[in-house]
Amino acid sequence: MEKVDSRVKLQYLSVESIDQNASQIIALDVIFAQNHSAMKDQVRVRFAPSPTGPLHVGGLRTALFNYLFAKQHGGAFILRIEDTDQKRYVAGAEDYIIKALDWCHIPADESPTNPGAYGPYRQSERQDIYTAWAHKLVQQGSAYYAFDSNEELEALRREQETNGQTFVYNFNNRATLTNGLNMSEASVQQRINSGDAYVIRFKAPHNRLLKLQDQIRGTVSIDCNTLDDKILYKSDGMPTYHLANVIDDHLMKITHVIRGEEWLPSLALHVLLYEAFGWNPPEFAHLPLILKPSGNGKLSKRDGDKLGFPVFPIDWEGEIPAKGFKGAGYLPEALINFLGLLGWNPGTEQELFSLTEMTKAFSLSSVNKGGARFDIEKLNWFNQQYLAKMAPSQLAPILKKSFPFLNNFPESQLNKVVALTQERLVFIDDFWSAAGYFFKAPNSFDEKALKRIARAETSSLIDRIIAVLSTYDESASTTLQEYIKNWISSNNIGFGAVMQPLRLALVGDLKGPDVFDIITILGRKEACQRMAFLQSKL
């Protein structure tokens, strides 16, 4: 997507021409809303990231909670790309966001690539809409043109700081600054026609206490005297987050705004904007932060590099590449399960949730107010659990992608190997360390284990074990396990004296699944050859 420079659309329009343009767009929006009134009761939520780089895991958690809420209520999950900040736009970021949601199995019902009836779904393509509504706010006195230069405002900030104060553009000083509140309509018209740079600021109320409701945090009280006159429309012709966000949420019929805690300070302005437009606001819910593993501060994009784990869902191949959870070997089901429990308490001891189960159990009332610590070891545990619970026939094809030589191994045998070793896997790449001995005989042995079995009688005992394995009749009703155990018992040999060298020969260490399961897969001939090799090392 190309960057958009829409300043010329507004800079050289007269007040009258803007007024005519605004009336046409707003009239069309009213007709549109009437034609779609049947959908007004449907739950509609949105995930609205900025395409400024790869999607952070905190944003992914926000998307997940929106998805769960929408699906639980039979509603729609919308992806809207908020690209009004063209200076921070990063090529490829939008595509990355869509691919990340798809990989996590939480795709949007409506998006730039899957549009519905409420598009466009990129804010850079909705410029005329924002222009119209911004001018309407000016017309009705809820907002005003401000022509103050950056240099003028910076000088005022420095002056206030010198006096130990903080400069705030609001009711205290708006009457003394260079804005439309202090000019005639003709003067405003002349400056616009002359191409003077300007912004549109919201006129925040004075001496008013707002009491707002949040579905997670309850009642939130805001003293309007602490608010500044926020810029709604920038000098580059693009709306700020605040204006575009409110207009889009209304026109896209968003019923619930579920977003991060960092947007809580914007709640008052957004509610005031809804009021100024004469619109009913959606329900709001502000999610707790995801904290660093130490619990001290918000988990940032830099923490992954510092602490050695990913913070992005999939690999990012931008100017500064970064490995994601997918590339690091995590399953999407494990990541989603882990994120779902970061800040949400199901009220039970259950920890493993499929996406369907989580959707049924989720509720905003069970979301915590406090931040949730990102525990990478817990995520590793989830990954291990999901690998362990997969059917071998499902896991085997995934393993083949990482270990192509497995394609030459009989499928039935591979499934048996997977079934015996998958509980030992934390990541797919662990398969070789957990099961490599099934495909390649050990050429060395654990030193401690070797010393443990290195007794004078061990070599002769290995000869006897090889003989017993070689003479076992596979057509007999007795299993190999029973046959060996009977032989051990009848010859008064210690069970460990036989099983330890046998396991060490097969695996290279004194660990692994059942010895007789290993022999069944390797075959008795291979087992005997490995025993002989161990004997040569004693």
Under 8 Å between Cβ of 28 and 36: no
The answer to whether 310 touches 238, Cβ cutoff 8 Å, is no
DSSP H/E element including 510: none
Burial of 127 (0-12, 13-18, 19+ CB in 10 A): buried
301 is catalytic: yes
Q: Name the nearest CA neighbour of 229 among 288, 167, 155, 298.
A: 167
Distance CA 538, CA 454 (A): 6
Structure-token pair, residue 9: 């659309």
Q: Are strands 44-47 and 290-291 parallel, antiparallel or unpaired?
A: unpaired
String of DSSP letters for 195-216: T---EEEE---SS-EEEEEETT
- Of 525, 499, 416, the C-alpha closest to 507 is 499
**Number of residues in the chain:** 538
Which two tokens mark 351? 């920890």
Q: Supply 263's token pair.
A: 């947007």
Question: What Cα–Cα distance (Å) separates residue 224 from each residue in 209, 211, 426?
Answer: 6, 10, 52
- Concatenating the DSSP letter of every residue in 363-380 gives -GGGB-SS-EE--HHHHH
Q: How far apart are CA 504 and CA 389, in angstroms?
A: 28
Residue of 9, 301, 416, 485 marked active site: 301
- Contact status, residue 379 vs residue 334, Cβ threshold 8 Å: yes
Q: Are 370 and 400 in contact (CB under 8 A)?
A: no
Give CA–CA dist 161/173, Å, rounded: 16
Residues marked as catalytic: 301
